[in-house]
Structure 1
């Protein structure tokens, strides 16, 4: 029987589901789990087809969201990093009554650059797909290196990310993941998302330019954005203090439906 890897820990009363990005698994949260555990009942998931959930084949975004939601607690706070942000967003769109708050980290409703919309150039994503076919390990290593480019802790963070990768992963699952990143566009759908929504970015992110934050501030005026200075694609690793301060602030408000602007957040004093 196919099973979804789902690990629950923590002493808090509020359920908090964390979804990782492309090519990785729930162990990516190792660096902040001990600090989140006193505040939440944490649910650490390996997305279908990834890590210890390898029994699943390649899936669409909607199919992944359904599988994850079927095992999730009711009324949880959801966080998705990078591609995981698309999965968490799809869940919030499909079942908003089950999501008390949505947090996306270094994610975009549309990862591909389109006209004036900033993102990853289509030819770059197409190149990754071809390289994944030609040289699987090297392609994943290159992708992980892009996530830490330009930050002080780049070497340490990249080494940690690479330690999480299993080269026994299903290439078809990874290829479909890249297709999801390349083709998904949730900008219009999320403009009508009814759940409290915080978006966190790094100002040095090479994959999700921080200009996305400003554009969505205008397009989604009821959502909140935070840009962490000197952070790239993995702000929870490189800047855990600032990252955790944002999470706790967002989650501990008396009414998560009350919106406060956090745009261009610069750090915790």
Structure 2
């Protein structure tokens, strides 16, 4: 995209350009192109003309990842993080069936979206949630969970694979869209052992009380154990954590990271299957071309 917009095609120029110059060019291209998904406009790109030639699923199918263990997963409320980008007139947690990230791109998708909405809304774990919450959950699956599960399913055919769902409710009352949810990136203070530092507080807030403090420290201990076990051996199991079952596409065993870590088979599976079908006919990047 940047090459197309600037006309600079020489690899030598791009490799030698100062960082400040590249950042300036990126900002100028972003302003010129614009997009309802402008935050993702410089996301990784693959294809025959790029450094990365294949999608992850194509790479797995080609045998490029055989024997490489994988641990992959998603946060329970990924998109709530993007409330940091809210404007006075647009709030990501206040989307409606008529006005949302999907209909912004294709207004004609609303009837199909309503079918999905009804499915998501009937789940007992979501009956109390608002219209905006349900739309956000649909966006989470579209942007994160479906593809992550698809990669896990394919990789499990060629190597041991482990899937997780991180579901710790953070404490940021000044960010109502994120408060008591598990937004994108909120697992990082647990994995890197910083829940009791200012950097950790910036991500997940301070403990609500002593019980919450104990819960988050226990979860931090488990998270560090899991990630270091996997980094060393390719297997997250060990120590005092519950047994983490190798991923199977049929049962989708998922380690749920919350106050009591546990394995749950195929959480929100009907939603996953319905969104997978929806994604076959609606691609946000195709719609933007």
TM-score by length of 2: 0.29
Relative to its length, the structure with more helix (as a share) is 2
User: TM-score, normalized by length of structure 1?
Assistant: 0.30
Choose 1 or 2 for highest CA Rg.
2
Greater strand content:
1
